[in-house]
Structure 1
Amino acid sequence: MRAARAWLNWSQDELSAKSGVSRRSIAMYEAGRTLPYDETLEKLRHTFEAAGVRFLFVGMVGQGITFDPGGEEPC
């Protein structure tokens, strides 16, 4: 999540406003203090993908991110 935010140059506050997930929750997820519910992950994934971020996985292991210019331009 932190890498995707950095790619888009979004603060936690911006991600919160765009996704509807509280800034406090985002901070806790990024710090590894808690894990998001499936519904929350869907909100965050949809928000990032709408902005053009694509998550790269091998099986269930995250391998990185890329940007698809077909999505919205980074803010």
Structure 2
Amino acid sequence: MPTVLRIGAFRFYFYSHEPNEPPHVHVDRGEATIKIWLEQVEVAKSRGFRAHEINGIVTMVEEHRDRLLEAWHEYFG
């Protein structure tokens, strides 16, 4: 699970065994986790985050989308 970005308590990473899915990133903070698609930034699934936290995480992903997509393509080819 390569970590590609850390912002405060949030860790942004990929699972190594998901190369056949569209580009996405997982974000964890403690026990809470969220999966966000990167082509059209939107939540795929979430567990443990409140709505206002999800909005903030989506904003962070939008701000770093280019970097996250580049890391995805570098990692998965």
Question: What's the TM-score, normalizing by structure 2?
Answer: 0.35
Structure with greater strand share of residues: 2
Of structures 1 and 2, the one with the larger relative CO (CA 8 A, separation 6+) is 1
